[in-house]
Amino acid sequence: MYTAWDINGESEKYEPVDFSQILSFQGANVKITYIVTALDVNNDPVEIPSETVLKTSMPIGLKPVFVEINQGFLL
């Protein structure tokens, strides 16, 4: 498992980034789990559902995400 975020970005938005050269394992997919970084007005966590994405277009932004490599996600 890895943690990734954009230290140079200025946008709160997650942008697709190609990690295929860094994550040089066989297979195309990784599981992205968004880390809770905010609470709503009721003090409940603001959660973004986890998703499986291509390692060539991983959503990376200022807020960190967990990147999970699992044999179950390989094509």
Task: Report the predicted TM-score, pTM, of the whole model to 2 decimal places.
Answer: 0.79
Q: In this predicted structure, what is the pLDDT of residue 13?
A: 84
Residues of the chain where predicted confidence (pLDDT) is lower than 70 = 26, 70-75
Q: Which of 14, 19, 2 is nearest to 61 (CA)?
A: 14
Cβ count near 60 (within 10 Å): 19
Q: How many helices (H) and strands (E) does the chain have?
A: 0, 6
State residue 65's pLDDT score.
93
Structural domain containing residue 16: 2-73
**Can you give the pLDDT at residue 70?**
65
As for how many domains the chain has, the answer is 1
Beta strands in 1-75 (DSSP E): 2-4, 15-17, 29-34, 51-54, 58-60, 65-68
